[in-house]
Chains A and B, each alone.
Chain A
Amino acid sequence: MRNPIAVTGETALDLIRQVRGILALFGNTLWWIVVGPFKGKTAGRQSIFQQMVFAGVQSVVIVFFISLFTGIVIAMQSAYQLKQLGAVIYVAPMVSISMARELGPVFVALVVAGRVGSAIAAELGTMKVSEQIEALETIALDPVRFLVVPRFLALLIMMPCLTVMADMVGILGGLIVGVFNLQINMYRYLSFSFDLMEFKDVWTGLIKSVVFGTAISMIACYVGLDTRGGAEGVGKATTMSVVISFIMIILIDCVLTGVFFFSEM
């Protein structure tokens, strides 16, 4: 049996090393985005575009179904409660506001972390263990500029887009329940959906999605580039990136919700 204090200490040190590594990578990425262009060294437009297609366009179907069903479930669950108060029409803002503030950004982030973050970690991890990262450095190409920046920018751009889509599809899901099950007039449903929604509900959600996108890309890239030990290492890195991303998404969501909606109280 190893000394539990030593194990705790080692784990803590490792955690500190990783957090510092992720922050350093983030700083390095921002440097390439802000200072890089002045030195004539930008990330390739083509590779940013490729990543945007992979992270964004190819996530559309799964985001569509997840938000549609989420919208339906929320409508059904809240209808049950609101019926007892005789306020079934409030299903509409219930769905739209909770999608925009919370469920849209968070579910999109979870989908992207599981689908895109894991793929990034696996790809970069494989590149690391098969000497491809070293090969890049040897031909004088910085892996951060060449690999991390396009992935970071792609997620930064696509996350809010996916979130807007998720919000709208979620409202559509609620609308299906409202119109076909609760017999609410469609125009009445829609006007209630949007009239009670504030602009703040939407922009706070979008800011969240941008922060989530940053966290997912930085965690996945860092874990990928930090991979050691062959195929097993790549597997571990992939799992790690998903686990850390999920925890961070919920944690960040908690903090940001506090900042946006509870800081004035």
Chain B
Amino acid sequence: MEERETVIEVTDLVKKFGDRTVLNGVNLKISKGETFVIMGGSGCGKSTLLRHIIGNLKPTSGKVCLLGTDITGLEGAQLDEIRKKIGMSFQSSALFDSMTVGENVSLPLREHTVLEKNIIDIMVTMKLELVGLRGFEDLMPSEISGGMKKRVGLARAIAMDPQIIFYDEPTAGLDPIMAAVIDRLIVDLSRKLSITSVVVTHDMKSVMGIADRIAMLHEGKVLEVGTPEEIRNSANQTVRQFINGSFDGPISFFQQKDDYLEQLTG
């Protein structure tokens, strides 16, 4: 693979919530234009990592570079300048329920640009067209289905033509067909608009379908990074267990009989 510009660089990222270490020295490099998937079990720190990359959480130590700027110490207006260049699709869609679908998508444009209203309207129609929801501008978020909300969230994320889009569990809680639709959208958006995509998920089917590269996160550390092919043929037992979704393996929810007995009897 040719050497491409690095747009996201995470170095030795550590995050502690009280005594609990959620991220324990994460290192990542994501290049321009690729679809990068961060996968891992529930509670392994995927979403926390994502929130550090977009600057919503501050690390205990380590640093995050986004689009060539170190955002670790940035606050307020400086951070906002970087944020205007990224888009984020939330797990729960996070549409503003007091606004219509159209207003949700146009909000970043109305607030951050000086475009005329009719131009903004055209742009909103275009963005909604991209996610297949043209004509739904005047509905409220409470009037549309979960899958549609996800797509509106996506349209809002791409409203400002971002250079990077982040997806937090884009297919969680959707039926298989809708999940496939969203997966196709993610791939389409990165190809059509040649944007970098960072997807956090544990949906293995979707991971293998969309990823250029995959990072497996486990217990606050990156276990392995590679193409879907490399990950599929990984020698690492934990990675194998995760992609096969098998019960037996290094990740165990049950203790050994003796340990359990000992714990019970003290």
Residues of A within 8 A of B (CB): 123, 126-127, 130-132, 134-142
Contacts and interface: CB of A to CB of B under 8 A. Distances in A.
Given A139-B84, A140-B111, 20 more contacts: A126-B97, A127-B96, A130-B94, A131-B92, A134-B51, A134-B56, A135-B88, A135-B90, A135-B95, A137-B83, A138-B54, A138-B83, A138-B86, A139-B83, A139-B111, A140-B80, A140-B81, A141-B107, A141-B108, A142-B80
Contact of B94 (A123, A131, A140, A141): A131
Contact of A135 (B79, B86, B94): B94
A49 B88 CA distance: 30
Interface residues of B, number: 25
Contact of A132 (B54, B80, B94, B112): B94
Chain A: interface secondary structure?
helix
- Chain A CB within 10 Å, residue with most, of B54, B80, B81: B80
A233 to B, nearest CB: 15
Interface of B: 51, 54, 56, 76, 79-81, 83-84, 86, 88, 90-92, 94-98, 107-108, 111-112, 156, 160
Contacts of B51: 134
A130 B95 CA distance: 9
A139 B81 CA distance: 10
A141 B79 CA distance: 11
A47 to B, nearest CB: 9
5 contacts: A134-B90, A138-B86, A139-B107, A139-B160, A140-B84
B111 A141 contact: yes
Contacts of B95: 132, 135
A162 B94 CA distance: 35
B120 to A, nearest CB: 14
A141 B106 CA distance: 13
Contact of B92 (A130, A139, A140): A130
Contact of B112 (A126, A127, A131, A140): A140
Contacts of B98: 123
Contact of B83 (A127, A131, A132, A140): A140
Contacts of B156: 139
A112 B40 CA distance: 48
A134 B94 contact: yes
A139 B108 contact: yes
B90 to A, nearest CB: 5
- Chain B CB within 10 Å, residue with most, of A132, A135, A141: A135
Contacts of A141: 107-108, 111
